[in-house]
Amino acid sequence: MMPAPQSLSCQIAALADGSRTASSLAEAALDCARTFSDLNAFVALDEPIVMQQARAADARRRLGTPLSPIDGVPIAIKDNYLTLDYPTTACSNALPSEPSGQDATVVAGLRSAGAIVFGKTNMHEWAYGATNSTSSFGATRNPRDTSRITGGSSGGSAAAVAAGIVAVALGSDTGGSVRIPSAACGIYGFKPSYGRVSRHGVLPLSWSLDAPGPMAATLEDIRLLLPHLFGQDPLDPSTRWARPFEHAPPATRPRLVHLTGPGLERSEDVDGALRNTLSVADIALGESTIDHMESYFAAWEAILHCEAAAYHLQRDRVDFAAYSTVTQAHLAAGGMLDGLDLIKAQRIRGHLIETLTKGLGDWDALVLPTLPVVAPLATDDWQEFSGRRVTTQDSMTWFCWIGNLAGLPCITIPVPRAPGQLPVGMMLMGRPGRDEALLSVAQWIDDRLCKRS
Amino acid sequence: MMPAPQSLSCQIAALADGSRTASSLAEAALDCARTFSDLNAFVALDEPIVMQQARAADARRRLGTPLSPIDGVPIAIKDNYLTLDYPTTACSNALPSEPSGQDATVVAGLRSAGAIVFGKTNMHEWAYGATNSTSSFGATRNPRDTSRITGGSSGGSAAAVAAGIVAVALGSDTGGSVRIPSAACGIYGFKPSYGRVSRHGVLPLSWSLDAPGPMAATLEDIRLLLPHLFGQDPLDPSTRWARPFEHAPPATRPRLVHLTGPGLERSEDVDGALRNTLSVADIALGESTIDHMESYFAAWEAILHCEAAAYHLQRDRVDFAAYSTVTQAHLAAGGMLDGLDLIKAQRIRGHLIETLTKGLGDWDALVLPTLPVVAPLATDDWQEFSGRRVTTQDSMTWFCWIGNLAGLPCITIPVPRAPGQLPVGMMLMGRPGRDEALLSVAQWIDDRLCKRS
């Protein structure tokens, strides 16, 4: 069987010029998924469901009435998005295994553009963790090295893209869950500005932090998907001011500020890879430390656990015994916070936004490694780097939560690595609501890097 | 001494045609303030401060360079707005009596338009109550009947306008504090949509409920002031999406929904006055009850007390002994709420917004009495109406908090009353952000009412 082109743009071109059918793309993807079943990337994948959609797409092409350029392209969906045909379990034993019978708003949008809802991807239980080791379907394995974790919570989506099963996938990001596995698996992942993409039908973790986002093998593919995701949704009040995707002019030599210092440590390997990349790309670069990182981190934790507890502890007919012990403990902690703590956390959040957007002068993007370490071994519970010893869980969200707490658009792009080296991601953060400008900055940089094989 | 014209529009015209000077308006206002000093409307009023501003305004007029049409008009400012020259005490013994040396953003805006910061008005301590009986400067008296309260917390501003000392004043509104005393004193009061007017430099009561607003003797005067108040302020993040004031087309026969039922009771006198007015004005009227009023009220109370506690309990060098006993109790209660309560309250708030804006069909304004009773006697701690017996405090916020919890623009307009009867206000609530449309509806109704003498 002919393998499918591994980028969305190539798949779009192949469908448009008739060199491939949606059915042949779907069959290739199903075949590839079987080949890489040991990755445990998919928790629901049904050939009849996939092929029925593909045949309908092919029929539309034959009639000359494709719904959009992505009509017929298979997309993998994280298992916390409601989907018409597949169950939605959030990889928790506490949810029923029957399909909900409805699509999340963004899934419905992709479907109405003809995209094929290919399968549901493995994730960290309830998106409440960043390793993808805790899942009712078992851990996900990293395609770059199956002894290593993908990171999470959108680990299945990252593995599916990195293994070449699909070109694009959806994840969700509350403290890095799109960016973390994208970086660990060597692909691109984009977390939009808070409120730019509808969360309706995406099981919540924390309302004021959650953002759905695309994951892809190329930057161009991210850009092709975003117009299908951005915009207002009357069913998600947070999108009240969301603008649709707008094409931004290409960036001219962007000014970046590299964030460093206490609380922002990283391994020598990762730091070297990032600095080398910044130097190769000839970027105008400042460097700045951020004071009070520990307060900001505490604010993110407080908001996360309290909002998660408010959702989970107030669910109807909830079976807490079916939650993992760690998640039970997080929810209990969230339930213990008092209102003053929560308000204080929200005010500290305001200070962070102020510091990042106004306190660092004029910048086009803030830059950090996406992760302080390469993808950890599945057997390692602790990570050590630059004098720090933290849990593998904490090492995954180490930098990423900043973007959620501040509501900034963020992207991770893989940096050049020597053959055999594990992937390292560069994270760029933009100004709130200026997702398109961030994408232009990322493109400017990506164009200057040696492309990975 | 010639009395000053009692409306802003007349004062603007008199200044423009040269028939009055700013100095003569200021002298008349000072004279009137002395005449009505028993009302206890002002807590800071300094002749040199006033006259210096007036002479500067007159000099600009002589040079033909007035700063705006309101250059030279005296405006009274509630004592929780920071002002360059006057102290700002929030009528609490816990604040210093020296001037802060800065203007709140809206005060600075009015000053840069040439308006004269006339004096600081009496208010309920910290704006944390709605009677104006608790104030470090003593209670305010109602100009319509000095044995009665003005209501609060902007009671001094209402008394100053109702007594004819100034044509316009600023108040602030967290649960009705602009509308309550406006209704009780028989003037117009406008609470803008949440986030439409900057609160920077206005001492906070509750961030997510507070709104500054104008109070005036005529509806036209409200309309003349709003353009000076609306718009974005980088120092108040809640104004991020604030549009400047836009002129709206006149309303055509508006569709109103009258809210009634459990939780929305009112005295026979007030109900009769409102229904009679609605009938006289020939308004297209529906009527609707709102379920779960007690939950919505609890949500408003929870948010109010918790946010107030977060501000007051975290102030530096705070002297709690100087707070009134009631305020101390409120703050302690706010400090006891847990984070889940607060999140639950914010979600209930979302349901109220949904119910009012989508659940009641198509409407141009919601209508209620502003108060369930006329201005209470200063000696009455309890009010009885329609089977209810509630504290005077609770009777003041009875309907008004709805507009704060839902973030809606609200206006109170005095309805026609027989000679000797105490004022009754009609409250109209508009759709969020559509302040101008609400003003047009109010104008349509006001034009059809017999004007009060």
A189-224 pLDDT, tens digit per residue, is: 999 999 999 999 999 999 999 999 999 999 999 999
For residue A335, the chain B residues in CB contact (below 8 A) are: 338-340
pLDDT of B38 above 70:
yes
Q: Express as a percent the part of chain B with pLDDT over 70.
A: 98
Q: What is the pLDDT of residues A34-52, one digit of tens each?
A: 999 999 999 999 999 999 9
CB contact under 8 A, B339 and A338: yes
CA A75, CA A246: separation in Å to the nearest integer?
23
Residue A341 in tokens = 């703590």
Reduced to 3 states, what is the DSSP secondary structure of residue A226? helix
Q: CB–CB of B73/B147 below 8 Å?
A: no
Q: Express as a percent the part of chain B with pLDDT over 90.
A: 90
For residue A313, the chain B residues in CB contact (below 8 A) are: 340
Q: Could you say which of B237, B313, B341 has the minimum Cβ distance to residue A350?
A: B237
Q: What is the average pLDDT value for chain B, to the nearest integer?
A: 95
The contact set of A with B (CB < 8 A) is 237, 241, 302, 306-307, 309-310, 313-314, 334-344, 347, 350, 353
**Which pLDDT value is given to residue B246?**
96
Look at domain B255-447 and name its CATH class.
alpha beta
Mean pLDDT of A248-253: 92
CA A51, CA B48: separation in Å to the nearest integer?
85
pLDDT of B453 above 50:
no
> What region does A405 belong to: left with phi over 0, alpha with psi -120 to 50, or beta?
alpha
Which DSSP letter does residue B81 get?
B
**Which pLDDT value is given to residue B318?**
73
B283 pLDDT band (50/70/90 cuts)? confident
CA A270, CA A256: separation in Å to the nearest integer?
18
Mean pLDDT of B353-364: 93
pTM: 0.87
Q: Could you say which of A307, A340, A347 has the minimum Cβ distance to residue B309?
A: A340
CB contact under 8 A, A339 and B241: no
Burial of residue A294 (CB within 10 Å: 0-12, 13-18, 19+) is: exposed
Locate the chain B residue with the closest alpha carbon to A208.
B343
Residues with Cβ within 8 Å of residue A431, at least 6 apart in sequence: A357, A408, A409, A437, A438
CB contact under 8 A, A306 and B340: yes
CB contact under 8 A, A310 and B343: yes
**Which pLDDT value is given to residue A1?**
61
A6 pLDDT band (50/70/90 cuts)? confident
The label of the residue with tokens 């290919």 reads A118
Q: Where are the beta strands (DSSP E) in B53-178?
A: 74-78, 116-121, 141-142, 145-149, 168-173
CATH 3.40.630.10 is held by the domain A1-453: no
Locate the chain A residue with the closest alpha carbon to B353.
A237
CA distance B339 to chain A (A): 4
Locate the chain B residue with the closest alpha carbon to A351.
B237
Locate the chain A residue with the closest alpha carbon to B354.
A237
Residues with Cβ within 8 Å of residue B332, at least 6 apart in sequence: B309
Mean pLDDT of B27-39: 97
Annotated active-site residue B238? The verdict is no
For residue A342, the chain B residues in CB contact (below 8 A) are: 339, 342-343
Which residues are registered as beta bridge partners of B197? B230
CB contact under 8 A, B338 and A336: yes
pLDDT of B451 above 70:
no
Portions of chain B given CATH number 3.90.1300.10: 8-239, 255-447
pLDDT of B437 above 80:
yes
Q: CB–CB of B366/B256 below 8 Å?
A: yes
**Which pLDDT value is given to residue A452?**
45
Q: Could you say which of A307, A337, A340 has the minimum Cβ distance to residue B310?
A: A340
**Which pLDDT value is given to residue B1?**
61
CA-nearest of B20, B26, B28, B72 to B48 is: B26
Annotated active-site residue B120? The verdict is no
For residue B313, the chain A residues in CB contact (below 8 A) are: 340
The catalytic position among B78, B206, B267, B395 is B78
CB contact under 8 A, A340 and B335: yes
The label of the residue with tokens 């009274």 reads B76
B452 pLDDT band (50/70/90 cuts)? very low
Mean pLDDT of B279-301: 93
Reduced to 3 states, what is the DSSP secondary structure of residue B362? coil
Q: What is the pLDDT of residues A96-108, one digit of tens each?
A: 888 989 999 999 9
pLDDT of A5 above 80:
no
Residue A18 in tokens = 């008739």
For residue B309, the chain A residues in CB contact (below 8 A) are: 339-340
CA distance B132 to chain A (A): 27
Fold of B8-239: Amidase signature (AS) enzymes (3.90.1300)
Q: What is the pLDDT of residues A13-39, one digit of tens each?
A: 999 999 999 999 999 999 999 999 999
Which of A311, A337, A343, A431 is the best substitution to test chain B (most B C-beta atoms within 10 A)?
A343
Chain centroid to CA B112: 22
Residue A437 in tokens = 């400008």
pLDDT of A121 above 80:
yes
Q: Could you say which of A310, A350, A353 has the minimum Cβ distance to residue B340?
A: A310
Residue scoring higher pLDDT (B393 or A317): B393
pLDDT of B136 above 50:
yes
A320 pLDDT band (50/70/90 cuts)? confident
ipTM of the complex: 0.76
**Which pLDDT value is given to residue B450?**
65
Residue scoring higher pLDDT (A313 or B294): B294
A318 pLDDT band (50/70/90 cuts)? confident
Which of A307, A338, A431 is the best substitution to test chain B (most B C-beta atoms within 10 A)?
A338
pLDDT of A115 above 70:
yes
